């Protein structure tokens, strides 16, 4: 059939979904081999194949949309639903770790000294680097909004400046958190306090890195003229994800850093 | 493109102003605060062998299996005490 009589995108056959599943299998079984049998080859193969699948699959989406024109408003609407549903699933992911934190901190056991923070734990001062990190992420939310409006208004130079500033703030946050991780007097092995703190903030940090990477891809695409003033969903998805990362941090800051240190 | 620009006139300017007048100065103030706080050093707490801290149920899958991923010999004690004290 030469022309389609509908506004949807019937995607060409692609190897990436099944390769992605294979990469997930290699990564999970690789983790087991690393944890229990002290060998990291399978894990490295899994992570490498995961990276290759992501690069090639998303490259193909850009080809189909920007260069082949398959992303009609209908298709874009579906992608919006998809991104919103994905972010919602991530909200539930973090909810689990917050549940664990409150379960342990609202009724601290005798083994912890019957108090929170537990006996012997010196928590971070929330008004020190954690407050700076809060300001950084909030500021990056402002700059990414500036970038979005610049794109909508067709101002290329300002859009590039604003998005670059956003990414720089994200990298600054990551660097500061890495430094904090190295400087804390407590570690992940220090009671349930350490477990909840580092698993929750650790997954958050991973999401900051993912979000920064997504924004960087958008910056490269912006420079290469992929976006128009009224069709730039890749950027919008990245901005939504970035706001989500910011909001998770605000909850982490209020509960673990601030309330959890008193 | 011109029609879209005419409709959204002013939005980018508002957020640019907010970025440089509110958001980035706030980051600067917090940076200054951190710098000033870092000027006075603090003593590291003495080592007390609490059972609920420095848990080692199984070895870590790296190094000698006894150090956490972000181990800092100055601030993090091992289960047997600070490394530089023994």
- Note down the domain range covering A63: 1-70
Tell me chain B's radius of gyration from C-alpha atoms: 25
What pLDDT score was predicted for residue B40?
Answer: 86
Q: Are residues A9 and A133 in the same domain?
A: no
Is pLDDT at A143 greater than 60 in this prediction? yes
pTM given for the model? 0.94
Contacts of B84 (CB under 8 A, 6+ apart): B73, B74
d(CA A164, CA A147): 9
What long-range pairs does A117-120 form, CB within 8 A, spacing at least 24?
A117/A193, A117/A260, A117/A261, A118/A191, A118/A192, A118/A193, A118/B52, A118/B53, A119/B50, A119/B52, A120/A190, A120/B45, A120/B48, A120/B50, A120/B52, A120/B53
Q: What's the mean pLDDT when you consider all of chain A?
A: 97
Q: Are residues A43 and A79 in the same domain?
A: no
d(CA B32, CA B34): 5
Last residue of a domain, one of A70, A89, A124: A70
Domain at A32, CATH number: 1.10.287.70
Q: How far is A120 from chain B (nearest CA, A)?
A: 8
Contacts of A235 (CB under 8 A, 6+ apart): A147, A148, A151, A218, A221, A222, A227
Answer whether B59's CB lies under 8 Å from B65's CB: yes
What pLDDT score was predicted for residue B3?
Answer: 41
Q: Are residues A49 and A179 in the same domain?
A: no
pLDDT tens track for B31-56: 999 999 999 877 889 999 999 999 99
Going by C-alpha positions, the residue among A159, A134, A9 that lies closest to residue A79 is A9
What pLDDT score was predicted for residue A3?
Answer: 87
Answer whether B52's CB lies under 8 Å from A157's CB: no
Q: Are residues A132 and A157 in the same domain?
A: yes
Residue A148 within any structural domain of the chain: yes
Q: How many CB atoms lie within 10 A of CB B9?
A: 9
Domain at A234, CATH number: 1.20.120.80
Contacts of A4 (CB under 8 A, 6+ apart): A10
Q: Are residues A176 and A65 in the same domain?
A: no
Q: How far is A239 from chain B (nearest CA, A)?
A: 14
Is pLDDT at B1 greater than 60 in this prediction? no
Q: Are residues A97 and A196 in the same domain?
A: yes
- Contact of A191 with chain B, judged by CB distance below 8 Å, is answered with yes
Q: Are residues A64 and A106 in the same domain?
A: no
Last residue of a domain, one of A14, A41, A70: A70
Note whether A143 contacts B23, CB cutoff 8 Å.
Answer: yes
What pLDDT score was predicted for residue A25?
Answer: 98
How big is the A-B interface in CB pairs under 8 Å?
128
Going by C-alpha positions, the residue among B47, B58, B16, B24 that lies closest to residue A189 is B58
What pLDDT score was predicted for residue B53?
Answer: 97
Note whether B33 contacts A189, CB cutoff 8 Å.
Answer: no
Number of domains in chain A: 2
Note whether A185 contacts B76, CB cutoff 8 Å.
Answer: yes
What pLDDT score was predicted for residue B2?
Answer: 41
| pLDDT band, residue B84 (cuts 50/70/90) | confident
- Contact of A182 with chain B, judged by CB distance below 8 Å, is answered with yes
Domains of chain B, by residue range, sit at 10-40, 43-81
Note whether B27 contacts A145, CB cutoff 8 Å.
Answer: no
Helix, strand or coil for residue A124? coil
In whole angstroms, what separates CA A253 from the centre of its chain? 17
Q: How many CB atoms lie within 10 A of CB B45?
A: 12
Residue A23 within any structural domain of the chain: yes
Domain B43-81: give its CATH code.
4.10.95.10
Phi, psi of B81 (to 5 degrees): 130, 180
Last residue of a domain, one of A16, A38, A70: A70
What pLDDT score was predicted for residue B86?
Answer: 56
d(CA A197, CA A243): 21
What pLDDT score was predicted for residue A255?
Answer: 98
Interface mutation target, options B7, B27, B66, B71, chain A, most CBs of A under 10 Å: B27
What pLDDT score was predicted for residue A156?
Answer: 98
Q: How far is B51 from chain A (nearest CA, A)?
A: 8
What pLDDT score was predicted for residue A189?
Answer: 97
d(CA A258, CA A250): 10
Q: Are residues A140 and A232 in the same domain?
A: yes
Helix, strand or coil for residue A142? helix
Rounded mean pLDDT, A118-145: 97
pLDDT tens track for A60-69: 999 999 999 9
pLDDT tens track for A90-121: 999 999 999 999 999 999 999 999 999 999 99
- Contact of B33 with chain A, judged by CB distance below 8 Å, is answered with yes
A204: its two tokens: 């958050």
pLDDT tens track for A163-199: 999 999 999 999 999 999 999 999 999 999 999 999 9
Residue A262 within any structural domain of the chain: no
Residue A28 within any structural domain of the chain: yes
Residues of B in contact with A129 (CB under 8 A): 34
Q: Are residues A184 and A240 in the same domain?
A: yes
């Amino acid at each position: 059939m030469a022309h389609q009589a509908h506004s949807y995108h019937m995607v060409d056959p692609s190897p990436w979904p099944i390769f992605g599943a294979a990469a997930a299998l290699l990564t999970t079984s690789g983790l087991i081999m690393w944890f229990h049998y002290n060998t990291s080859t399978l894990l490295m193969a899994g992570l490498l194949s995961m990276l290759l699948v992501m690069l090639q699959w998303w490259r193909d989406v850009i080809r189909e949309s920007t260069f082949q024109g398959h992303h009609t408003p209908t298709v874009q609407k579906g992608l919006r639903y998809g991104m919103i549903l994905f972010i919602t699933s991530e909200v539930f992911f973090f909810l689990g770790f917050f549940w664990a934190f409150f379960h342990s901190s609202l009724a601290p056991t005798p083994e912890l000294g019957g108090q929170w923070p537990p006996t012997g734990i010196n928590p971070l001062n929330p008004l020190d680097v954690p407050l700076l990190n809060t300001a950084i992420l909030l500021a990056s939310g402002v700059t990414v909004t500036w970038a979005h409006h610049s794109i909508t208004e067709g101002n290329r130079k300002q859009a590039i400046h604003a998005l670059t500033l956003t990414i720089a703030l994200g990298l600054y946050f990551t660097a500061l958190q890495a430094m904090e991780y190295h400087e804390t007097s407590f570690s992940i092995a220090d009671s349930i306090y350490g477990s909840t703190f580092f698993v929750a903030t650790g997954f958050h940090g991973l999401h900051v890195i993912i979000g920064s990477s997504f924004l960087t891809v958008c910056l490269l695409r912006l420079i290469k003229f992929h976006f128009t003033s009224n069709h730039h969903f890749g950027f919008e998805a990245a901005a939504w994800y970035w706001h989500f990362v910011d909001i998770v941090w605000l909850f982490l800051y209020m509960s673990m850093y601030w309330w959890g240190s008193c | 493109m011109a029609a879209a620009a005419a409709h959204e006139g002013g939005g980018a300017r508002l957020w640019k102003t907010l970025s440089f007048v509110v958001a980035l100065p706030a980051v600067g103030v917090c940076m200054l605060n951190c710098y000033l706080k870092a000027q006075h050093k603090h003593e590291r707490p003495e080592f007390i062998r609490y059972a609920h801290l420095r848990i080692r149920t199984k070895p870590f899958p790296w190094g000698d299996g006894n150090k956490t991923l972000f181990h800092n010999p100055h601030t993090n004690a091992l289960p047997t005490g600070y490394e530089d004290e023994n």
